[in-house]
Structure formats: C-alpha cells, structure tokens
Structure 1
Amino acid sequence: MRVLICPDKFAGTLSAPEVVAAVADGWLAAVPTDEIVRRPLSDGGPGFVDVLAAALPGRLVPVETVDPLGRPASGSVLVVGDTAYVESAQACGLHLVDRAERDVRRATSYGLGILVTHAVENGARTVVVGLGGSATNDGGAGMLAALGAPPVDESGYALPYGGAALVAVAALGDAPRLRDVEVVAATDVDNPLTGLHGASNVYGPQKGATREDIMLLDSALERWAGVLEKLPTCPPGLAARPGAGAAGGLGAAVLALGGRCESGIALVNRLIGLDAAFDDADLVITGEGSFDFQSLRGKVVAGVAGAARDRGLPCLVLAGQVSAGRREAAAAGVTGSWSLTDHLGSQEEAMSRPAEGLRTLATHLAPQWSR
C-alpha cells in the first residue's frame, strides 16, 4: 500500500519534514511492508524555503538579516536557476518575538527586504516570496526601505520603522531598486489590506495589537496604500486587492512593485510534483498544529484533502488539536481527524512530546487503515 504523507508544520513544535519523519516511523513500525511517500508541505509561511530546498535541485545560500525588532537573525535564499525563493517568516516571523516583547506598532519587514535584495544583487530574475506567520503590520514599508525606497514624511525625512509611523507617510524617498526583477508572493491569504477583513483587523490581535492599535494601523495602511499607488507599477484600488493584506500587508507591497499573488500551496505542489504522488497513492495523511475552521479556507490541509477527495482517496488528518466541525471537514475531503491532545491526554503533553505523540498515533492507526 502506498501511503502519501504530506503535512504542514506543527507551528511552534515541529517542521513539516519532522512531522513527516515521525508519522512515517510510527506507521512503518506497525506495517513495515507499506510504501511511504514523503512530501512535506508549506503554503508560504514558516518552512517554505526548507520544504522547497528538500525537493528542488538548487543551492541554499545563508544570509544574515534582522528580525521584526531589528535584531540579528539568520535567513537563507534558495537559488534555482534564475529564480530565488525567500521566506518572510525567517525575518518577520511571529515565532522570532516572545509574546511579552511583541510590538506590532513598530515591528518591521526590513529583514525581508535584506533577503530580497540579496536575491536581486545575485542575479535572480524572479523572486518568489513566501508570505505568512508574520509579526509585522507595516504594509511592506520596511521591505521597500531595504530596497532603497524608504517611506518619508511631508518634509522628506525617513520615517521610523513599523506600521504606526505610516500615519505620517507622504511619499517614497526613492524608487525601489529591483532591476526589473519579477516578484511573486506565495500566499493562501486573500484578505484585503484594510477594512474589517484587512490585515490589521483580522491578524493584528494575534500579533499583540489592542483595539486602539488596530484602528491606528488600519488608518496608517490606508494612507500607505495611497502612497504606493503613485508607483507606476502599482494596480489601482490597491487596498481592496485580494492578498494585499497577507503577512501584515506585505502582499500590498508585492502588488505595488508590479508583482502578483499566487496560491502558496498550489505553487509548492507544482514544484515538488505532488499531483503525481497523489495519482499513485492509496491513502493520504496530512496535518498541522491546529486543525480548525481556518484550515478549511485555503490552508495546506484543505488543499490536500480536496485533492484526495477528487481522486477518491481517504485522507487522514493528524493535528496537535482538532476543533474543525466534522461535517465541514468531511465536505472538504477529510475522512477522519485525530488530535495529539486527545491521544496524549493534555495540550501540555501534546506540545512537549509532539514527535513521540505522532509516532505512537500513527502506529495505532496503521493497522486500521492499511489494507
């Protein structure tokens, strides 16, 4: 029996390749004759570059950058031919900032700009930016500053880093230095930049934003969108564009640079040959840290379950915790779901022993689902 294991990361505990390894080890311990096909996945968020580096014949170039608070951080650029892949979470990730020090007003995407600049300066003709899991809400202002186009006020002075400072933005200090490089945002978030469903209102709270912060940041991003629309490459109505609100508004910056948003999971699937793996599979296993209602709206699990459903394959979801409705999950193509919290007895155990929990859970499920 061919078992395709293709999960997302378990945020805060395991990378996607580590999840695959734990599930595969547990499954083979119970049914060693099954054939395991390993395809760790990402929708553009944390782990995007690692997942692609494991599957593509490119070279991974380490780059020193900065985190959302301007502190030193380590990133990397995956170079495949004349295309470079970078990951916003390596420089802007929420996981880089402890809960007590989160400051969404001044968190900056400057570190991502360093990664993009490195890719441009080293000859890339296309830069694909994985968006997701960010601690920032600056509309990509920091990234543009690193590209040579800092936001400035009415007097022409460069603004401080962070989304809150954009309430005073009047222009860009210069044109972005991209050398005609095409920029693509890999994301499965379709939120606009501003408004009730925008970056500040929807994702601000998880980054530590208060209600007052949200109102300020939303107003600042509205003003920022007006400045970006003066770029000759920017489409009209930027603030309302689907995907503009991805990763704290980084999607808007990509669109303003003449780039486009592309489904992250679809892009990863295409690059790693997931469709062929689906066609040869008998059973599919996917998962993520929290399987909830958002998982069914364009996330990795939804994409995997839909592909399995279209081929008549059973799809099992293993997660740290499960709160998605059974009926909604079934409609999306999920055959069944299991949580480490239930399997190990508590959320604390699930967080402290995720790899062990996945191994023993897979060992338990294998005899029931293998032919």
Structure 2
Amino acid sequence: MRIVIAPDKFAGTLSAVQAAHAIAEGWRRTAPASEIATAPMADGGPGFVDVVRASLGGELLAGTVRGPLDEPVPSTLLLTGDTAYVESAQACGLALMPRDPDGRNPQPGAVERASTYGVGELIASAIDAGARRVVVGLGGSGTNDGGAGLLAALGATSTPATALTGGPSALAEIGSLDLEAARSRVSGVELIAASDVDNPLLGLRGASNVFGEQKGLVDDDAKLAADTALTAFADLAGRETADAAGAGAAGGLGYALLLLGAARVSGFETVASAVGLYDLVAACDVVVTGEGKLDWQSMNGKVPVGVAGVANAAVRPCIALAGDVQVGNRELRANGIEAAYGLVDMVGEAAAFDRPAESLAAVAERVAKTWDRRR
C-alpha cells in the first residue's frame, strides 16, 4: 500500500517533521513493504519555515531580531530563489511571552506591552537578501498590536514616537501616523500573508475579542482596552482595511501586511502546494494526519481538517493520530476524518508527554494493523 503521512506539529513535544518521522517509523514496523511518503504540514504558524524547507530546500538565513518584549531572539528565514519564507512566530510567538506562576498561561498584562517589531525586521532582512516575494506565515502569535511594530521596523513613524513599538497600551496614545517610508521599503516586493484566520481586526470577531484571552487579555475590560487602542490605530491607518478578512490574523499582523499591499492566501494551501500534497494524496491508498490536540479548534480549518479535505477530494480515506482526541466520531467524520487515535488513550498521559516520539511510533504501529491491509 501507499501511505501519505501529513501531520501538523504536536505542540510542545514534536515538530511536524519529527511527528511525520515517528509515524512513518511505527507504520513500517507493521508494514515494511508499504510505500510511505512524508509531507509534514503547517498552516503558517510555528514550524512554517521548517516544513517548507523540508520539501523545497533553500538557504536558511540566521539572525537576531527584537522579540515581543524587546529582548533579542534568534530567528531564521528561508530563501528559495527570489522567494523568502518568514515565520512570524519566531519573532512574536506565544512561546516567547512570559508565563504565569504555574507556567500554563501567558502572564496577564504582558501582551499589552508586546510588539511585532521583530517581524518587520525579518521582512527587511528578506528584502536585503534579494527576495522579491516574501511569504509571511501568520499564526501562534503572542501579540495584539495590529502589526504596528512591524510597520515601525519598516520605517513607519508616529506621534508620540513610541506609539507603534510598545504594544496596544502605547498604541492607545497615538496621535498621528505616517506609513510612507514603510510602503517605500517594500516597494516592488510581492508580500503574501499566509493565514487561515479570516477575522477582521476590530469588534466582536476581531483580534482582541476572539484571540486575546489565549494571549493574556483575561477579562472584558482588558479586551475592550486593546480593541479601543487598535481602533485608534485603524482610524489613522485605514478603517476599510481593518474590516478585511484576515486583518485580525496573528493579533492584527494581517492588518499591517494588508496596509502594505499584501495578498492574503490560505496558510494551509501555501504549505500543501509547497510540499506537493495534492499529487501525493492522489497516488496513495491511505492518508494519515494529526496534531497534538484534536479538538473543536481543529475542526475550524486547522491542518488535520485541511488534509482530510484533500484526501476526500481524491476519494482517499484519512485517519488522524493525536496526543489527545477531544471530539467524537460523528464530528470527525463530518470533517472528513474516518477515525482518530489518541496517545493519551492508547499509551497513557505520562508516556505521551515524556516520550512523545516513541509513543507516537507505537500508536502508528498498532493503527497500521487496521489500516494497512496488504502488509
């Protein structure tokens, strides 16, 4: 049989590349004669650059940029020909934000000061390296500044001068804005915002209200204050663009990129095309996907459902392996996933977290006994 293995990352334990390798290793123990193709996936969030590089190759350019709270953080961008791939989470990701005392949630108050300046530095580095097309993966951000920091890094100015670089708390004080230098910096460069989030910047469906809590905007007052700050920013930068689909992606990074003339594309589709997923699935018998937690958010356009959609279009069965499965069979099948298998259920929580690659391989070995019928 021909098997395609196309998982997302298992957040906190395995990258998508590591997860795909572990599943393939376990599957081969049961079915050594099967042809297995791995296609690690991402939707624009953490792991975006690694996944694209695994398929396209290219040159990794390492550097240091300003992190969300002004600390220096290491970063890489991928250059393939005249196209650069940038992962915004490397510069402003949730993983870079301080945590509360128990380590489970972002520290309340930190996001109000957090900036996307480092993402702008990454884009500038890509342009300086000769890129004429820059694809920015949006996802996994710990910021909520409407991309103001990104614009500042590319030359935008404001009054007061610090309004763009101090997160939404500073943005609330903005009096004027000039984007001319930032737009000049990216002139002649095709910008692509890769994200599957279609929320606008402001309001009930906007960045602050929908995604703010997971970043540390823990109560209604904090969300209102952040949304008010973004509104003041948008009143100067452009309210029409603030209403566009995807403007609210990555705490408003989508908005900043749209202001600079970026085109919005699906993060999943971008990666699927880069890794050749459609051709791989068309030539296989079974598709295997997965991620760390398969829950209601997964059913809302995340990688497993995206992979299942590709499989269903090719009339191929799709199954999922996950650290924890929190949705029922009916909902899974409604989203194109025939069956899902959770590491927590099959090997126990301790093994799933302490030995994730070994546990994922063991589960894949068992699952292959059901799904690889020609072994």
Q: What TM-score does the superposition give when structure 2 sets the normalisation length?
A: 0.93
Q: Which residue of 1 aligns with 2:9?
A: 9
Question: Per-residue displacement from partner, 1:193-242 (whole Å, max 9, x unpaired)?
Answer: 1111111111111111122221100111111112222xxxxxx6222211
For structure 1, the 5+ residue unaligned runs are 230-235
SS in 2 for 1:305: helix
Contact 2:112 2:168 in 1 (8 A): yes
Alignment of 1:190-201 (within 5 A): 190-201=198-209
How far the C-alpha of 1:350 sits from its partner, in A, is 2.1
Give the 3 Å change call, closer, same or farther, for CA 151–340 of structure 1 in structure 2: farther
Does the Cα contact within 8 Å between 1:158 and 1:173 map onto a contact in 2? no
Match of 1:366 in 2: 368
Deviation of 1:96 after TM superposition, in Å, equals 1.8
- Amino acid across the alignment from 1:82: D
Deviates more, 1:119-128 or 1:284-293: 119-128
Match of 1:354 among 341, 353, 356: 356
Deviations 1:292-336 (A, max 9, x none): 112122211111111111222111111111112321210111000
Query: Residue 3 of structure 1 aligns to a residue in which SS?
Result: strand
Q: Which residue of 1 aligns with 2:147?
A: 140
* Cα distance in structure 2, aligned partners of 1:50 and 1:327: 33
Q: How many correspondences in the alignment? A: 362
The one-letter amino acid paired with 2:362 is T
The alignment partner of 1:193 has SS state of coil
- Which of 211, 214, 222 in structure 2 is aligned with 1:206? 214
* Normalised TM-score (structure 1): 0.94
* Distance in 2 of aligned mates of 1:288 and 1:313: 20
Q: Which residue of 2 aligns with 1:162?
A: 167
SS in 1 for 2:307: helix
Match of 2:30 in 1: 30
- Matched to 2:225, the amino acid is L
The alignment partner of 1:316 has SS state of: strand
Q: How far did 1:160 drift?
A: 4.7
In structure 2, distance between residues paired with 1:57 and 1:367: 34
Structure 1 runs of 4+ with >6 Å offset: none
SS in 2 for 1:247: helix
Matched, 1:53 2:53: yes
Does the aligned pair in 2 maintain the 1:84–1:127 contact within 8 Å? yes
Q: Aligned to 1:191, what secondary structure does the other structure show?
A: coil
Q: Measure the CA separation in 1 of the matches of 2:364 and 2:126.
A: 40
**Could you tell me whether the CA contact under 8 Å between 2:144 and 2:207 is conserved in 1?**
yes
Other structure's SS at 1:129 match: strand
**Whole-Å separation in 1 of the counterparts to 2:89 and 2:157:** 21
- State the SS of the aligned residue for 2:187: coil
- Post-superposition shift, 1:78? 0.8
Indicate the residue corresponding to 1:232 in structure 2.
none
**Alignment of 1:335 onto 2:338:** yes
Aligned match of 1:183: 191
Q: How far is 1:342 from its partner?
A: 0.9
1:219 to 205, 228, 233: 228
Shift of 1:57: 3.8
SS at match of 1:22: helix
Query: What displacement does 1:345 show?
Result: 2.2
Instruction: Tell me what 2:307 maps to.
Output: 304
| Residue in structure 2 matched with residue 121 of structure 1 by the alignment | 128
Output the CA distance in 2 between the equivalents of 1:351 and 1:260. Answer: 39
Where does residue 103 of structure 2 map in the other structure? Answer: none
The answer on whether the counterparts of 1:200 and 1:217 sit within 8 Å (CA) in structure 2 is: yes
SS at match of 1:237: helix
C-alpha displacement of 1:171: 2.4
Residues in 2 aligned to 1:275 and 1:158: alpha-carbon distance in whole angstroms: 45
CA apart distance, 1:123: 2.0
Cα–Cα, structure 1 residues 167 and 314, in superposed 2: closer, same or farther, change >3 Å? same
Deviations 1:142-196 (CA, angstroms, capped at 9, x unpaired)? 111110113433xx66555112211111222552022332211100111111111
- Once the two structures are superposed, the pairs formed by residues 248-267 of structure 1 within 5 Å of their partners are 248-267=251-270
Report deviation, 1:44. 0.3
Indicate if the aligned counterparts of 2:343 and 2:352 stay in contact, CA closer than 8 A: yes
* Equivalent pair of 1:141/1:151 in contact (CA under 8 Å): no
Name the SS of the counterpart of 1:54 in structure 2: helix
Contact 2:152–2:164 (8 Å) recurs in 1: no
Counterpart mapping for 1:278-317 below 5 A: 278-317=281-320
SS in 1 for 2:235: helix
Secondary structure, counterpart of 1:295 in structure 2: coil
1:87-126 per-residue CA deviation (whole Å, 9 max, x = no partner) reads 0011111112242263110111111111011011222111
Contact 1:6 1:41 in 2 (8 A): yes
Give the letter aligned to residue 257 of structure 1: L
Q: Secondary structure at the match of 1:27?
A: helix
After TM superposition, the structure 1 stretch with the greater mean CA deviation from structure 2, 299-308 or 157-166, is 157-166
Gaps of 5+ in 2: 101-105
2-structure distance, mates of 1:146, 1:18: 34
- 1:9 is displaced (CA, Å) by 0.5
